[in-house]
Amino acid sequence: MADQEETKGSPSFLELAPRKAGVRDLSRLLRDSDLTQRDFVDGSDDTQVKLKYRRLIFVSTLMQKLLLFFSTPLAFMGRVFEMFLNFLSYNHSPCAFVKNLKRGTLIPRRDSAEFVSYIGFLDGRIKLEPNIKPGDGFKYYSALCMMASKVAYENKARIEHIVKDHLNMEFLGFYSCWNDYQQKTTTEVFLLRDKSDDRDTIVVAFRGTEPFSADDWCTDWDLSHHPLRDPKSHSLLGNVHDGFMKALGLSEVDEWPANYKDGTGKQNLAYYFIRDKLKTLLDASDRTNYIVTGHSLGGALAILFPTILFCHDEKFLLERLQGVYTYGQPRVGDGMLGKFMERKLKEHNIRYFRFVYSYDMVPRLPYDDKDHWYKHFGKALYYNPHYHGAAVTELPNKNYFSIILALATMVNAVYEMVRSFVIVTKMIMSAVYELGRCFVIHYTRGPYYKEGWVLCTTRITGLLVPGVSDHSPQDYVNCTCLGQPGFPPEEMSDS
């Protein structure tokens, strides 16, 4: 009888408040199809929701509750672990330890250029692959954008040091912007300029999901979405992820005003601040273009930035937008929004490259149902564990919650862990080496692809939480460098 009453699919508007969810509320969610009876759910008029969608709301809320419960110890653990790694790196020898002890600085300051983030220890490369040159076109820009997306996890001083001294490019600034979803200045972005006689490109890189930030992971797991409307006609463009849009600057409304005057005392809102910054920079030269990029959560912000430019019909900025490169990007909206974006990207001739490595869990979040909710749009550049790429319209095992995916990711995690330890030790028995020789791709490619002990240890987590280790920037950097020479970016032109 209850199923007969459930004539609606999923709510067209949904906002979850996991902090308000109690055990009784969560249990009743699975029994009662009326969302208005749940204090932690604010939904649309589509109150009668099918059981399969209520299950997804249940999982999303439960995951966020767990993350919030462990948020303080998780942040503390991350801080201690980063300090420990920096202590080991900073005092890499007895002489260095004695020298630093005399100076009273056994650990570099967190805001100094010497302090490395956990992401930086996962993948310590801070230069582009030597064989990739500016004339390589797609391969060069995909490698540059991934490097920028990875570097975005560092502090301002270190980012400036890497951009100027290792990438030999111009550092244009690092900015912390207000995130209305987290009620903090946690949306961070930096700009660099790659300029020479034959090119002048600004790269806008959004920082992604911090590994030890419960708030960031809650954003990825959240199913909350709002309708996005055209500011002029008020017509519906689609439903968009609530947390990602608020990280860009949307507040409590479903429309984006073209201009925003802050009377609330909040700091910079990312969309408006970066938009105005780009206008100033691009006005100075007719030959300057720009690219938007990001890894993980940063990838979601990178593709939503031009989404709002489309809404505001920012012709000048859209003409100068050379492309959008995202890596391990989660889904950002529904199918209707996807169709709007595909049409607009084609109309303005903007290339959108969405990289996905193997069984990375983040591109498979939030949930994608065959007839509703979150959808990727355009084709993805999907790379298997051997870094062989293909342009696909749908990922293998498109959702994270899948028995088949769980088994496949476990097998892949074992493979990656073996590969990592082979590369680091270089002293494995010859018989085992012969057996796994085809997997030792980093070792056979040279020292640029060496994996450190931090990453090797992290690979083990792939056995405990399948898909987590595949989200590492190391693999995405490798995808941009080791993708087979015949991989055609032209396949993406229809996206």
Catalytically active residues are 296, 360, 471
Residue 400 in 3-state DSSP? coil
Residue 254 in 3-state DSSP? coil
Distance CA 35, CA 49 (A): 7
Distance CA 351, CA 493 (A): 7
The C-alpha R_g of the chain, in whole angstroms, comes to 23
φ/ψ of 228, rounded to 5, equals -110, 125
Sheet architecture: strand order including 170-179: 170-179, 184-196, 199-206, 289-295, 321-327, 351-357, 380-383, 389-392
Residue 468 in 3-state DSSP? coil
Q: Are 420 and 459 in contact (CB under 8 A)?
A: yes
Enumerate helices (H) and strands (E) in the chain, giving the number of each.
Answer: 20, 14
From first CA to last CA, the distance across the chain in angstroms is 44
Distance CA 128, CA 142 (A): 11
φ/ψ of 407, rounded to 5, equals -65, -45
Distance CA 261, CA 478 (A): 43
Distance CA 336, CA 352 (A): 18
HSE at residue 94, side-chain half, CA atoms within 13 A, is: 0
Q: Are 18 and 67 in contact (CB under 8 A)?
A: no
Distance CA 242, CA 374 (A): 12
| Those residues with Cβ within 8 angstroms of residue 410's Cβ, 6 or more apart along the chain or in another chain | 462, 463, 466
Beta pairing class for 389-392 and 380-383: antiparallel
**Alpha-carbon torsion (6, 10, 12, 18), positive or negative:** positive
Distance CA 241, CA 231 (A): 18
Angle at 325 between CA 321 and CA 327, to 5 degrees: 160
Distance CA 29, CA 51 (A): 9
